[in-house]
Structure 1
């Protein structure tokens, strides 16, 4: 074999064999135009995703040479399962995947692994540029490993409906536990071994009493001591190993449960949060903590207790069947008592849940509205409401506690009978024993009974715990089992968005409303125009903005964006292609830069500065002590209303949306802040469609067209000048807001206050 080729030569040859993967690929979707090039790694991921029927938006991955983690994260945001791993050749050739595997090359390129042949010790690679049906090329270990450092991105379609979108029920939780079958099997094996070792001490005590003490057998004592020492050593090691596995299983179940719960929470429609108090939602979700404690605590410990019982109960019957039957009968009575009290306990606990929900809602409402409470001096009223809710919750808990104490009261004598009763009855049997071996058997049985009694009681009480967890699951399910936006988020087309909007005979009514919010609305917004929407309160202005965001989709008629029905568009793609600025915008805790970027991948401080400059926020940000690193506290008390609004506009502009919606974005601003924002509107609107919803007509005079709404119907659509001439409603609103001061008449004379 000759001298090995240098890394660059090998990489170049590999690229040539694989079809030129290191070159950038032509791409015509997402953010890139038909003549723009896509980086090889992005193109490879895109091709692999298409194999699974998923079209990824290249605008979500802005880096020229993204690493494996960034690529996997991009695929996950697009609705796929993805994982970045590092493998060696021996693992690579054995990898089995439902589609192409993306291999990242050292020089920034990427190739697709289509298959492998372990007998020939080769893998089959293709380039992302290869036409469909092109033949894959065989590459051996030497040529690949010189150009590839082991980075791999595994892709497949997202989890099935049964796992990802199944209702949150006890059955789903059982499935979550069954996934951990392999480590649970290891725990069971360790528990059986520990249970066997648990049997040894009582048997050894019995032997010591019956053999060593009776016959003064020192050799037997030495042998038993050695057995005990060996058993203790094994028990210590196995116990440590079991605890480690239990901790791992508990942590994995806990992680999966929390990830699933938060994922479903984010996929709930906005309608749900508007109809349910935040405190109620938070209290119901807090019940997941109890479910988690049950799964990772009581359920696992009861599983281990069950294994112990399966080993120890037969031994107890072997040692003394009469005493063993006493233990079993007491356990059955405990189970019957607990089952008898379950129905009234369930009803009583439901009243506790309702009272605690109301209490939590009052707390959350007060915290959220604390500014209003302080401004209006409502502290006494809120405190009285809180006192009432606390009293109701306390009474409900007291009633539940009093009822729950009865099973414990009745069970306690049975628990004592299992230990002390068997001891006394065993002593009576020992007095009448003529063989002399009953004393040792009694000692052994007492030791076994102490090991068995508590697991039996815990197993009986698991029924009660199961009922409580069932109630907790129902509470959490009342939130998590609401209809999700998942279908619209993961499915649907992903067209290029240019901002052309069309409403055609669209009607929409809110749930429970007697009159429609929009009634037969039809209008067009050409791409690249500034479009205003005006009308009286309740005329349907903000409803149009909600429909454009896909918040409500149960309308009749047609709403099209760039010629595609909005119901057919992928929701995530739609919302990422537009920017929204509301009247009251929320800023997260963190720096100003973090708030503008808002966690979007591939964006830097330079992008935040450009967006801030476009929104007119750069001048006040630079005056702050730490500039873009200035920390924004919760509720942003260190920012004025105008500053918050300009940061919100910068956040909406950071990803250069093709459609920008300003929904009453300037209505709450002071005149100076409104003037600054309005002065930037022309600059902000350049190259994009901008829809401005406002009741202040002065902010709409520069719009290309203005839509006038009244009671959910279109009154007119035209420019400001035309509307002043032909639309009576628009003219009335204009003169109400811009009435000349000289025509207002004399100002009434105020009566001076009198001092007394």
Structure 2
């Protein structure tokens, strides 16, 4: 029995980890009680459970952001599931588990583990000693060089019920950052080595069992029929019954394991694909049609079918081949060499056709890509097609793309039929030829045992011929799958957004923005979109940006969102270079409303909350009130539960825009960017939004990009852009006096106010 002072020490760990229920209630996430909702949380306000998670994350070199924690459960303390999801969103591997004491003793050199205590506190498991039957705990508030407390099972059970969170760095070869290649897929399959090992053992056993029926047939022919041995027949019947029963059960178990492995590979593959898709920069989606992207990603399903279908079945057939080939040579060497020679000829024929088939199949892929691009473009722009009556033109384009794809597939199919034509007679020789030659050999066999051997050889050769041909055809299938991997990789292996979830600084954003000598050019253009731009936006001010089309207004908004980071010069938020800021943290502090906003299929409440865990209907109502959207929401048939279909057909443009503003305000952003947000509004909706601007801007920096100068008159400062350069920065009244471009834009938009005489009266229409 280990003599360690425990009562005081265990409870000291528990108390230091979470002193009382009121302290732990803060742990439910200061992010839920700061600036409502989701304001910044100071570290000293973070509760013990979040502190423990932060300590373990730092141990693994990852900085989690307390601002991003959202409790989905109604528990007064952060649950293990909420903590795990928070860590996963931060770029870590995390699991909420319930473990026993015996499991804790295994965590000896695994890094710290977060233990959740029953009083709402938490502690760090830093080590264990199975020999002494103790574990070592440390408080989340303890210094890094502080000593751990030794605890045994009895005393730990007084404060701990088994809840824990396992954390580690998610970076490994099979990770979200690994390129999509055949090697990555091989590594993905290798991770399923244990169930695949079981499948291999089962397949080897089944292969051994497949030898028995031919041998039994040979024995029946050579022994039972020649010598009329009933006792041998009964013995063979009993063996056959046992073998069939065992083979049935083992085959069923193998199929179950294969289904599980296939489902797991399928899940991992699809999760990886969607994760990579979300991390692609916006530039990619702006330069590539949606249909083209969807077609390339659809190739992943062919890869999945190859991995879980043809490849796995051929692998299992190879095991059968390794068992049956020696037996086949044992029965008759001559016939066995005939089978192997036929298989070699088939392989040579297919290898000879691979390169020209690859070229023709690439033409099929190109034609199908353009066909999918035309389909996707038509579906996305169906409103424009209907409004302009473009159905004939789109149908003509579709007919042309279908014809091109059909010609490419026809050419590929005609060429691909040649190897099949040449292989077919060889396959027939492999089966029927060996039977005829074997019959000739049996007729010349004086011992009489060749007849039974011929029956056995024919049964085994049929089992061997199929894997041999399948192995050869696997090479042909691999060529198509290799092309599919290339198509999917053309999307998935694009450069990702420059900051992963776990990298970059996470400063507290106050809203101060500084552009200093910044120059930026879009890809493929020589003229810079922004040319040595410099200006300063103090925190908490309303700042307008105006200029003619193409002057660089929206480019400034894009750079602030981190969409483009390949600029020269400096862009700083609160004195920190934007390139060094964690991308998720940056966008969490921003609210963005565009000219054309997309609403997801779902209720109005779901669209405002936008899936952010921990936010409720009251948060949605508060944001809708700020955006001036509550008045029309309450008139809807089901209020905030009114369902929005794809394309938002039951909402007007102004209603959609106000919902988008409410969605941008739901997490109370430090900086709100309105990029031409009111340009598509009707006068009534624009008046409602404009009336709420001052209330929306309270306590945050608001940047309004607009070509309507009337919506910028209340701004503290207005930036005037012209051909990517800064012309002037001042208030509305000062710009009217000293900036000719601003004065000209103002005159053009308000000339109706100065037109005293009015335009000549139009001739009234008459009915003829």
SS of 2:137's equivalent? strand
CA distance in 2, matches of 1:17, 1:743: 79
Compared CA separation, residues 162 and 227, structure 1 to 2 (3 A): closer
Are the counterparts in 1 of residues 174 and 187 from structure 2 also a CA contact under 8 Å?
A: no
Deviations 1:634-680 (A, max 9, x none): 11111111111111111111111100100000001111111111111
Deviation at 1:566, TM superposition (A): 0.4
CA distance in 2, matches of 1:392, 1:626: 49
Pair 1:669 & 2:681 matched: yes
Q: What is residue 107 of structure 1 aligned with on the other side? A: 119
SS of 1:657's equivalent? coil
Q: What is residue 58 of structure 1 aligned with on the other side? A: 66
Q: What is residue 260 of structure 2 aligned with on the other side? A: 248
Deviation at 1:744, TM superposition (A): 6.1
Deviation at 1:39, TM superposition (A): 2.0
For 1:139-154, what aligned pairs fall within 5 Å after superposition?
A: 139-154=151-166
Deviation at 1:97, TM superposition (A): 5.4
CA distance in 2, matches of 1:537, 1:449: 75
Q: What is residue 178 of structure 1 aligned with on the other side? A: 190
SS of 1:314's equivalent? helix
Q: What is residue 273 of structure 1 aligned with on the other side? A: 285
Q: What is residue 130 of structure 1 aligned with on the other side? A: 142
TM-score (norm 1): 0.96
Deviation at 1:741, TM superposition (A): 4.2
SS of 1:487's equivalent? coil
Are the counterparts in 1 of residues 14 and 117 from structure 2 also a CA contact under 8 Å?
A: no
Q: What is residue 249 of structure 2 aligned with on the other side? A: 237
CA distance in 1, matches of 2:434, 2:664: 75
CA distance in 2, matches of 1:294, 1:75: 34
Q: Which has the larger displacement, 250-259 or 375-384?
A: 250-259
Pair 1:16 & 2:12 matched: yes
Q: Which has the larger displacement, 11-20 or 439-448?
A: 11-20
Compared CA separation, residues 236 and 11, structure 1 to 2 (3 A): farther
Q: Which has the larger displacement, 37-46 or 746-755?
A: 746-755
Are the counterparts in 1 of residues 216 and 236 from structure 2 also a CA contact under 8 Å?
A: yes
Q: What is residue 565 of structure 1 aligned with on the other side? A: 577
For 1:696-715, what aligned pairs fall within 5 Å after superposition?
A: 696-715=708-727
SS of 1:534's equivalent? strand
Are the counterparts in 1 of residues 521 and 528 from structure 2 also a CA contact under 8 Å?
A: yes
Pair 1:495 & 2:491 matched: no
Q: Which of 457, 476, 483 matches 1:464?
A: 476
Are the counterparts in 1 of residues 10 and 149 from structure 2 also a CA contact under 8 Å?
A: no
Q: What is residue 672 of structure 2 aligned with on the other side? A: 660
Deviation at 1:238, TM superposition (A): 1.3
SS of 2:120's equivalent? coil
Are the counterparts in 2 of residues 18 and 137 from structure 1 also a CA contact under 8 Å?
A: no
Q: What is residue 519 of structure 1 aligned with on the other side? A: 531
SS of 1:152's equivalent? strand
Q: What is residue 448 of structure 1 aligned with on the other side? A: 460
CA distance in 1, matches of 2:616, 2:428: 68
For 1:377-526, what aligned pairs fall within 5 Å after superposition?
A: 377-485=389-497, 487-526=499-538
Q: Which has the larger displacement, 165-174 or 635-644?
A: 165-174
Pair 1:330 & 2:339 matched: no
Q: Which has the larger displacement, 46-55 or 664-673?
A: 46-55
Pair 1:42 & 2:38 matched: no
Deviation at 1:519, TM superposition (A): 0.6
CA distance in 2, matches of 1:202, 1:543: 76
CA distance in 1, matches of 2:223, 2:484: 55
SS of 1:691's equivalent? strand
CA distance in 1, matches of 2:498, 2:547: 34
Q: Which of 220, 228, 233 matches 1:221?
A: 233
TM-score (norm 2): 0.95
Are the counterparts in 1 of residues 89 and 501 from structure 2 also a CA contact under 8 Å?
A: no
Q: What is residue 7 of structure 1 aligned with on the other side? A: none
Compared CA separation, residues 549 and 15, structure 1 to 2 (3 A): farther
Pair 1:301 & 2:309 matched: no
Are the counterparts in 2 of residues 267 and 486 from structure 1 also a CA contact under 8 Å?
A: no
Pair 1:285 & 2:293 matched: no
Are the counterparts in 2 of residues 31 and 58 from structure 1 also a CA contact under 8 Å?
A: no
Are the counterparts in 1 of residues 363 and 408 from structure 2 also a CA contact under 8 Å?
A: yes
CA distance in 2, matches of 1:35, 1:555: 34
SS of 2:146's equivalent? coil
Compared CA separation, residues 631 and 125, structure 1 to 2 (3 A): same
Are the counterparts in 2 of residues 506 and 559 from structure 1 also a CA contact under 8 Å?
A: yes
Are the counterparts in 2 of residues 313 and 452 from structure 1 also a CA contact under 8 Å?
A: yes
CA distance in 1, matches of 2:675, 2:283: 18
Q: Which has the larger displacement, 535-544 or 477-486?
A: 477-486
Compared CA separation, residues 659 and 680, structure 1 to 2 (3 A): same
Q: What is residue 331 of structure 2 aligned with on the other side? A: 319
CA distance in 2, matches of 1:312, 1:750: 97
Deviation at 1:735, TM superposition (A): 1.1
Q: Matched residue pairs, number?
A: 748
Compared CA separation, residues 45 and 419, structure 1 to 2 (3 A): same
Are the counterparts in 1 of residues 41 and 66 from structure 2 also a CA contact under 8 Å?
A: no
Are the counterparts in 2 of residues 19 and 126 from structure 1 also a CA contact under 8 Å?
A: no
SS of 1:359's equivalent? helix
Deviations 1:422-474 (A, max 9, x none): 11111111111111111111111111111111111110100001111000000
Q: Which has the larger displacement, 482-491 or 571-580?
A: 482-491
Structure 1 stretches lacking a partner, 5+ long: 2-9
